[in-house]
Structures are given as structure tokens and as C-alpha cells.
Structure 1
């Protein structure tokens, strides 16, 4: 029987995956509609349309036999599929999108459609406090349940983050920004996890990865999960959730909700900020002045927050 596909993936999806993975993704992009169609047939779902979002996958909307709307997600990287679905199983029932079905042979999963529509529903106010509570809840699930097979924060820091920071710092013409980068890099090799705070980390807490359910509660989606010190997630949210805006307030809220002291979170804030600054400089991104301002603020003084 011929599979009924949605046709070619949207141009935006195609462009983002080629930008992210390079020409090697071309063949997979041609095959992605068939992967989604095969999964839909296997799980007796009806595909309705593409949802043009994300940088590592092709996403479609589907409907189950009982009319429940779902998201179908096909990953380019099988390893990233395995990591994300492993984290979602650990967080099942928590503040994320629940995993409904998964197909290891296809690297495709069916996920809850949060809020009943792509992008979720509207928030109900007190956004900063509610998102902080969701992050804390996710970390609690990660501590209480069996540890999934995921990369460690220590590995990410040592083998990925530090080498790319050094490589970019060496090759880029930093101009007046060199002193800023050198100051930020001074303590990076000394960063260490606190084993008492080890949990499953979301590790990708940008604004677009926080959506809201019908009750207005935040759900943390599209993780790039690691296992390590919870301070890393709090730092990521502090720096990147709304770049340049309310950084001090997020740090204060992070420290209050997590009960991790501000001086334990800020070194990871500096590491993430200098990593982002060099990346934005390399690609000449318009966000470069914003991340530079954030990095400067962490180097100028220790930001104080609620303990």
C-alpha cells in the first residue's frame, strides 16, 4: 500500500536543517515525509499538516482515532531522538510534553499537543515564577527517577563547550571584545558539578521551548538533555530566556526557587554568555550587542538575588 504523505517538508524546515546540519541532511529531508507517514500508519493516526518549527526535526500535526490531536516529530539525528525520548520518559507526568508513542527504527515519536494547538495556549500571568516552578519540578522528577543514559554536563563542558570557546576565541577578530572574552574565560576550566544537585537537565531553555497548556501552566519542550548540576539549567534560563531583559530578576527567582546560591549559578551564566557571544560574533548575529551586554554585567559584578 502506498503511504499517504504530506508532501515535501516546508521550506522553513528544510532551510533550518540544512543550516544546522549541512548538505548531509538533504537525503533525510527527502525521506522525512515517508518516515512521518510510516509512523502515522503504524499508530493509526491521520496526518493533517506540517508544523514549521524546530532546527533538528520535521514536525507534523496528526489526529488519533479518538480525535485526540498529537504532534509527530521526526529527528534527523537518531542519537538526539534517543536522548530526547529518554528524558521525556524520565519526566513523564511532569511539566513537559508527554511522550505517547516512539519508533526507534524511524527516529519518530508522537507527543502530546500542549494547549491543543501548535505553540500552546496563553499564559495566565506570573510567568517568571511559574516557569521557575516548572524547572524545579522537572529537576525533581530527574532526581527521583532512574537516571537515563544521557551525556553528562561534565562531558559537555570539557569536550564540547570549552573546545569551541577556545577555537572561536583564537580564530575570530575580537577587537575591543578580546579583553571581555579573556576575562570571562579565566575560570572556565575550573567549573565543576556539585554531585548533590545532579539531575536530568533540559539544557535548552530558550523562550521558544517554553509553552503553556490550557490551564496556563508552562511546559518545557524540545530539550537537549544532559545529566548534571541543576545550576546549569538555572543559568541557561537566566541568560537566554529573554536575552538582555530581566536577567537580574530571573537570577533572583532562580536562586529563591532552587535554593542554589547566586554565586553557584553565576559562573555557569558567564560560561554560557561567553559561549553565546563568540557564536553570535562568528555568525554576525544581530543579537551580539545584547549578549555582550549580558556578559559584561556578569563580569562587572556579582548579581545579587534572593537566597
Structure 2
């Protein structure tokens, strides 16, 4: 595993991931023998590593995804199974729960969704995600757990900034409000639906969502990042909320607007870490202060 990839996983999972990183090559070798694959390149993700592999039988390319926390891949596999008939969600090929691994179809020459995306580009994806098909999988946590995790993770990142764009009082208020909102809803959510997890394959195919961190909750929670991404004003975010809510019945535009306000501190920290434009950071800070 590349050093940078290992460092990222140690930051995410702590010292407990060290032994898994040391054994990474052995684990990949065992899985490749099991599934008849030849490993190629390795890249790091937020919760694990992805190995580009090629079938030794016919040359088909696959993505072998592994995590030091097997719960992550087990829950992802459950969500992808639920969305198996959705053409806008990456296809699950196989899974190995004992090794914390899932095998996915490879998306050739994929690029992430543009910051200046159009509503039409994501309409099929949103329809697929929130059209009820059956009971959500039982091993998926409630949205409250996801919200608590996300705020805790980004609070550590906020405190590491030399000049945080969000003060402690605003952070605590938005965190508490988001936790309260997370009590509602019984839909399967993607849980990490930002533009980096929405890809367009280079073969001209439709966009595909990857890397779900599924939870059970309010669909409006899932769409807050898309509502805020690339928007230049609060009015633009409000319009996005209405446009996104029009795509699928379970999405409430007013709740989506509230989710945006409560997740705005996280977006502000994310922008600050990427040295984004000052105007965008100020917009998120003002949105977090809107009450």
C-alpha cells in the first residue's frame, strides 16, 4: 500500500488500522486468488483502499475495495444489494465479509460530477435512490449515528485549522439541531452523497453513485451537499432545495433547507481545508448563522 494511503487510513481509523495496513498485501493476494484476479494499481479512499484488478480469465476490470473496518464494507454491500436494480448506482459483483472486502464493476476513466452540475444530471440518480422497493437492510445504522460521526470527524478537522471559519458556539448549535432532525425518516440513505461520489464513466454512460455510507433516515439529509455545492448565494441554495425536492416525493424542500443550514459549518470547514474562495466560505458561515 502506498505510504500516503496508509497515513490517510491511520488518520481515519487510528492505530488499530496499523496491523491491517501491514497485512494489506497478503489480504489482497488471497482475495485475488479467490476471485481469479490480477492486482494492478492501488488508491486510497476515505474508509479503505481500492485495488484496480483484472480478471485472469477474460481481462474484465474490477474494483476490489477493502477496509480495516469490516462493518463499512458489510453495510456498503447491503446497500448496493438493495439498489441492485438501480442503473445509477455502482454494481456489486461479490463480497467477502470475513476480509472486509467487496468486488465492484470498474468505472472506466470516470470523472466526478462537476461543481456546476445541472439538476437534470442527477434526477435519475435521485429517483433511483428514493423509490421504495422493499424493506431496507437490517444491518444499517440510524441517521443519528451517521450525523454524530460526521460532526465528530469534521470537528477534529476544524480544530486543526489555524483559523477556523466556524466558532464553537455555532458548531455546537448546528450539531445539536442536526441530531434532532436525524430522528425522522425511515428511508435507506446513501449517507455520503457529495459530487466526489457521483461519477461519470468515460464511455459516455450515465452518472453512477459510489461509496455509500448507508443509514436510515430523512432523504432530505442526503441531498444537503448537492444543494449547497457550487451555489453562489442563499437564494441559489433555496432554489436548489426546491428543484431537488421536486424529483422524488419523500423529499421535503423546507427540511432540505434546514439540513443545509445545519450542515453549513461542515461545508465551511471543507472549503477552508481546500483553500477555496473566501466568498464561498463566508456564504457557508452566514448560512450556519441563519436562524
TM-score by length of 1: 0.76
Taking structure 1 as reference, are residues 154 and 178 closer, same or farther at Cα in structure 2, changes over 3 Å only?
A: closer
CA shift, 1:87, in A, is 0.7
Cα deviation, 1:14-33, whole Å, max 9, x if unaligned, reads: 23212222333222112112
1:209 corresponds to 2:197: yes
Match of 1:81 in 2: 73
- 1:105 aligned residue: 98
| In structure 1, distance between residues paired with 2:198 and 2:222 | 13
Shift of the alpha carbon at 1:279?
Answer: 7.3
- Report the counterpart of residue 258 of structure 1 in structure 2: 248
CA contact (8 A) 1:75 1:108 kept: yes
Match of 2:85 among 77, 88, 93: 93
Q: Would you say the 8 A contact 2:126–2:247 is kept in 1? A: no
Structure 1 counterpart of 2:123, from 109, 120, 132: 132
Residue 50 of structure 2 is matched in structure 1 by: 59
SS in 2 for 1:105: helix
**Which of 218, 225, 241 pairs up with 1:229?**
218
Name the SS for the 2:136 alignment partner: coil
Say if 1:106 and 1:17 are closer, same or farther in 2 by CA, change over 3 A: same
Q: Are the equivalent residues in 2 in contact too, given 1:102–1:108 (CA < 8 A)?
A: yes
Q: Which moved more, 1:164-173 or 1:86-95?
A: 164-173
Distance 1:292 1:21 in 2: 31
1:180 is displaced (CA, Å) by: 5.0
Q: How many residues align?
A: 281
What residue number does 2:181 align with? 191
Any stretches of 5+ residues in structure 2 without a counterpart? none
Q: Which deviations, in whole Å up to 9, do the C-alpha atoms of 1:212-263 show, x marking residues without a partner?
A: 2334311110111111111111223223x44768645532321221343321
CA distance in 2, matches of 1:100, 1:168: 35
| Preserved CA contact (<8 Å) 1:122 1:216 | no
Structure of greater Rg: 1
Please, which of 279, 283, 288 is the counterpart of residue 293 of structure 1?
283
- CA distance in 2 between partners of 1:165 and 1:102 (Å): 30
CA–CA separation in structure 2 for the residues paired with 1:122 and 1:190: 30
Matched residue SS, 1:144:
coil
What is the TM-score when the length of structure 2 is the normalising length?
0.80
Residue 35 of structure 1 contacts residue 74 of structure 1 at CA under 8 Å; is this kept in 2? no
